[in-house]
Amino acid sequence: MTVISSNKDTEALTLTFVADFDASAERVWQLWEDPRQLERWWGPPTWPATFDRHDFVPGGRSNYVMTGPEGENGPGWWVTTVIQRPYRLEFEDGFADENGDPVVEMGSVRVVVTLEEIDGRTRMTTVSTFANVEQMQQMSEMGMEEGMREAMGQIDRLLAEDDSA
């Protein structure tokens, strides 16, 4: 993987993350489409995700739970809004309660994913848009931050594996 760019827009509250992968768009699309493959990367390494439901159609609902190092649960939901296989995907991502129902007051993050084939590789662009700063604060307080810090240590290991592959 090569990170092409990462752009934080503090006014529009968007993060645009662009990376190239050594695979076809069709192959990368499967990583989003197939819940068993999605589980292998959606949660940070110390907070792996399990998808109990993944209706990968426009208007379809997904439910997942990320499990932290101490066994704590971070439930979440998606509503997929746009699917243009294998080039474009849009969905809303938010926090859920214990029953998997959206925590409405937390709002959701709007994510737009585009895949583009360039010279046999696939460029994946994800644009995440937050509703407001308060929402971002809540989200990062809900365990995300801790998980992230611990996960940082794993990055070097992953990179080393990639190099030796």
Chain positions contacting other proteins, by CB under 8 A: 1, 3, 6, 8-13, 15, 17, 19, 21-23, 27-28, 31, 37, 40-42, 44-45, 107, 124, 126, 128, 130-133, 136-137, 139-140, 144-145, 148, 151-152, 154-155, 158-159, 161-162, 165
Nearest distance, CB of residue 120 and other proteins, angstroms: 13
DSSP H or E segment with residue 23: none
Whole-angstrom Cα distance, residue 31 to residue 113? Answer: 12
126-to-3, 101, 140, 142 alpha-carbon distances in Å:
12, 25, 19, 22
Q: Which is nearer to other proteins, 32 or 80 (by Cβ)? A: 32
Strand partners, 75: 65
Q: Which is nearer to other proteins, 55 or 146 (by Cβ)? A: 146
**One-letter amino acid for residue 1 of the chain:** M
Nearest distance, CB of residue 103 and other proteins, angstroms: 13
Nearest distance, CB of residue 46 and other proteins, angstroms: 10
**Which tokens hold the place of 123?**
């460029």
Q: How far is CA 157 from the centre of its chain?
A: 21
Q: Which is nearer to other proteins, 55 or 150 (by Cβ)? A: 150
Nearest distance, CB of residue 8 and other proteins, angstroms: 4
Q: Which is nearer to other proteins, 118 or 155 (by Cβ)? A: 155
Is the Cβ–Cβ distance between 69 and 46 less than 8 Å? yes
